[in-house]
Structure 1
Amino acid sequence: MKAVVLHGKVLEGAGWDEQDVFVQAFAVSQALADLGYEPIVLSLSLNIAETVDTLLALRPAFVFNLVEAIEGRGNMIHAAPALLDALHIPYTGAQTEGIFLTSSKITAKKILRAHGIATPGWFSSGDRGHGLLPGDRCIVKSGWEDASIGLDEDSVVPADDFPRIHEKIADLRKQLGGACFAEVFIEGREINVSLLAGEDGPEILPPAEIIFADYPPDKIKVLGYRSKWIEDSFEYRHTPRTFDFPGADERLLAELSDIARQTWEIFSLRGYARVDFRVDRTGKPWVLEINANPCLSPEGGFIAAVKQAGIDYNGAIERIIGDMPAVGGNLSGAGP
C-alpha cells in the first residue's frame, strides 16, 4: 500500500530549521516501511499543478503530511491539507481548518481568548494593543513562522515604546516576508505539553520544561532560534529539556494538561500536537502557541515526550495514521 510522505520544497541555502524536514521525512519513511507500507517521498512546490499530477498518478492510500512551509513560506502551510482535501486523499495530522487557525498566531490568540484561555496580550501594525500594560516588555515575532524563526533576545522591547515596536515589526517583516506582531513577554518558566492520538481521545504525554541553565542575570530568557538550531551557541548548550518536576508542580501540570486538551478540542486537532506555555511568577500559565503537526525528528521535543511515555517511534507514527478522518465514508484509518 503506497503512502506518500509529503514535505514542502526546500530552497537552496535554506536554514537548518527548514532542512530538518529531510530528517523527518527519512524517519517517517523508515517507520512506514517497518509498518508494512510503501513510502514515497514527495516535495510540494509552488508549482501546485505538478504535485497534483504526481499524486493522481501515484494514487496513494494516504499522505503523511510533513509540510511546514513551501519554498520558505510558512504562511503556505495550510495549502497542503487544502490541496489534499480537494483531491479527496486522506492525510495525517490536523485538517485544513485546524492547521490554518493554529498557524495564524494572532487568529489563534483571538480564539483562545474567546474560550477564556489565557494568552499574552499583543500588538500588530495598525492595531491597538490587546492587554498591554505600562512596564510590560514585548517580544516581536512572526505571525506565521514556527521553529523560533527570527526570534532572539534582541526581539524583546519595552511595550510602551511603540515607535521601536513598529520598527522591529517592519524589520522582521522585511526579513521574513510576512506578517509580524509584538506579544507581551512573560517572565517565567517555559513548559510544553505534547498530545498523541489514542483510542479514547488524545493522550497527554509527559510535560517537558526547558531550563535556562547558567544564564547571566542580565540575559533575557528567550527560547529563540539559536536555542533550537545553532549547536555551538551558548543558548543551545544552556537550554536542556527536563521531564523531572517536583511534587509541588502536580497541580500546575494538571492545569497545563487540561488546557492542552481543551486546545485539541477547540481547534479540532488530530494525530499529534504540542502546546507551548509560559508560567509566570505567580504560577499562572499562558499559552504561547499551539503546534499542530509538531516536528517528528527523532531528536526533537515531541518525540522526546513520546519516548518518555514509553512509546517507540513506530508506535507513535502508527497512532498518528490511525487518527486520520474518513474520506468519502470509506476510510476510518489505514492499515497496510
Structure 2
Amino acid sequence: MIVEVLHDLLPSGPGNGDAREDELDNLVQARAVGAALRSLGHEVRETPLGLDLDAVAESLRSAPPDLVFNLVESCGGQARLAHLAPSLLEALGLPLTGCGSYPVFVAADKLRVKELLRIAGVPSPPWYTARRLTREEREVCGTFIVKPIYEHGSVGLNEDAVVEIRSRAELLNLLRQRRKASGLEYFAEGFVEGREFNVALLETDGRPRVLPPAEILFEGFAPGQQRILGYEAKWDKDSFAYGHTPRTFEFGEGDAVLLRDIKSLAMACWVLFEMRGYARVDLRVDAGGRPFVIDVNPNPCIAPDAGLAAAAERVGMDYETLVGAVVRAAIQDPA
C-alpha cells in the first residue's frame, strides 16, 4: 500500500535551526512513522503541508496514495489552522488516519472545547477571557493558570503561567499584558492544584479502546514551584522540569475508583468531539479526588517516546504495532 505521510512545513523550512523544539518534533514523528510503515511493508512518501494548499492538492491528485497518514499539527506556523489538512484530504476523497476535520477544528480553540465540555456536563475548571471580564460584575479571585487559546504542546506555558489573582481588574490587565507581550490570545482557567493525568485512546476493531492512564509525577519540585507540565518540561532537555516530570502507569488499589472515573471522562470526550483513530485527554485531579478535563487532543503526538506509544506499550503493542493499528482503523473506518 502507498502511504503518504503528511506533516508540517516548518515556518523557516525543514531542518532550519530557528524552528522551536515542538515544531521539530513534528518531523521526528514523520520520520518515525515512515520507518514503521516501511517495516510493515508499505511504500512511503512524505509531503510537507504549508499554506499553499493548491500545490499539495495537485500533487496528491496526480499521484494519489492509498492512504494519507496525517501528522499535521499546524499550518503556516499556526496551530489553529491544523484542520486545513484533514479538510483538504476529505475534499479530495482520500482516506486518512486519525481524526477528521471537525474534531481537529474544534479542539484547536480551547474556549470552544471548554464550552462544549460545559454543555455536556463534563467537569472542567471555570475560565475567563478578557472579553468576559469586561462584562463581569462579580469580583474574581483565586489561583489561575493563564494559557494561549490556540496553541498546543504547552506553547506559552512558562513558569509564570500560574498566578494568584485578587480582583477582576487585575486578571483583565494580566490577560491584556500577555497578549501585548506575545501576540497570542490568552484566557485564564481555574488552576486545579493536585495530580495530572493523561489518557490515550486508540480505535480498535471500529471501537475506541481506552489505554492505561498515565500520571505525570513532579519529582523534587521545591515548595512554591508550580507543578505543571509547561513548555520546558516537554521540550527543554536541559531544564529541571524536563528531567523531573516522568510518567507512571503504576497505581495502588486506592486509585481504582479515580482511574475508572478518568477513563470514563476520556471516553465521554471521544464521543463528544466525534474523534476516531487515536486521541488523548489531559486531566487534573484536585485534593478531593475530583478529576477535571483540561485539554482534548485529537491526533496527539505519536513519536516513539510520547505518551500514546508508552500507553500502547503497556498493553503489549510495540511502536510498529501501534502504527499498524492506526492504519487499520483508517482503512476500516474511512473519512
Under TM normalisation by the shorter chain, which class is it?
Answer: over 0.9
Query: In the alignment, what sits opposite 1:216?
Result: 222
Equivalent of 1:241, from 237, 247, 250? 247
Matched, 1:228 2:228: no
Contact kept? 2:206, 2:329, Cα under 8 Å: no
Query: In the alignment, what sits opposite 1:194?
Result: 200
Report the 3-state secondary structure (helix = DSSP H, G, I; strand = E; otherwise coil) of the residue aligned with 1:202. Answer: strand
TM-score after normalising by structure 1: 0.92
Equivalent of 2:172, from 159, 166, 178? 166
1:152-202 C-alpha deviation (Å, 9 max, x unpaired): 230122344444433443444356544321111110000111111112511
Aligned-residue CA RMSD (Å)? 2.0
Contact kept? 1:138, 1:157, Cα under 8 Å: yes
Query: In the alignment, what sits opposite 1:312?
Result: 318
Structure 1 gaps of 5+ residues are 326-330
Taking a change above 3 Å as real, the CA distance of residues 280 and 46 of structure 1, as seen in their structure-2 partners, is same
Matched, 1:90 2:92: no
Q: C-alpha displacement at 1:20, in angstroms?
A: 0.3
Q: C-alpha displacement at 1:243, in angstroms?
A: 0.8
TM-score after normalising by structure 2: 0.92
Report the 3-state secondary structure (helix = DSSP H, G, I; strand = E; otherwise coil) of the residue aligned with 1:144. Answer: coil
Structure 2 gaps of 5+ residues are 13-17
1:267-310 C-alpha deviation (Å, 9 max, x unpaired): 11111111100000010000000111010110111111111221
Which is worse superposed, 167-176 or 300-309?
A: 167-176
Equivalent of 1:256, from 246, 254, 262? 262
Identity %: 39
Query: In the alignment, what sits opposite 1:323?
Result: 329
1:71-92 C-alpha deviation (Å, 9 max, x unpaired): 3211111111111111111111
Contact kept? 2:281, 2:296, Cα under 8 Å: yes
Letter in 1 for 2:154: S
Contact kept? 2:206, 2:333, Cα under 8 Å: no
Q: Aligned equivalents of 1:101 and 1:138: distance in 2?
A: 23
Q: Aligned equivalents of 1:95 and 1:134: distance in 2?
A: 38
Report the 3-state secondary structure (helix = DSSP H, G, I; strand = E; otherwise coil) of the residue aligned with 2:131. Answer: coil
Q: C-alpha displacement at 1:143, in angstroms?
A: 1.0
Query: In the alignment, what sits opposite 1:37?
Result: 42
1:13-59 C-alpha deviation (Å, 9 max, x unpaired): 12000100111001111111122221111000111111111111221
Contact kept? 2:285, 2:292, Cα under 8 Å: yes
Query: In the alignment, what sits opposite 1:110?
Result: 115
Contact kept? 2:8, 2:49, Cα under 8 Å: yes
Report the 3-state secondary structure (helix = DSSP H, G, I; strand = E; otherwise coil) of the residue aligned with 1:6. Answer: strand
Query: In the alignment, what sits opposite 1:139?
Result: 145
1:65-104 equivalence runs, <5 A? 65-104=70-109
Matched, 1:3 2:3: yes
Matched, 1:287 2:293: yes
Letter in 1 for 2:9: K
Report the 3-state secondary structure (helix = DSSP H, G, I; strand = E; otherwise coil) of the residue aligned with 1:220. Answer: coil
Query: In the alignment, what sits opposite 1:46?
Result: 51
Q: Aligned equivalents of 2:241 and 2:139: distance in 1?
A: 29
Contact kept? 1:6, 1:64, Cα under 8 Å: yes
Letter in 2 for 1:127: R
Query: In the alignment, what sits opposite 2:191?
Result: 185
Q: Aligned equivalents of 1:255 and 1:188: distance in 2?
A: 16
Letter in 1 for 2:6: L
Which is worse superposed, 169-178 or 110-119?
A: 169-178
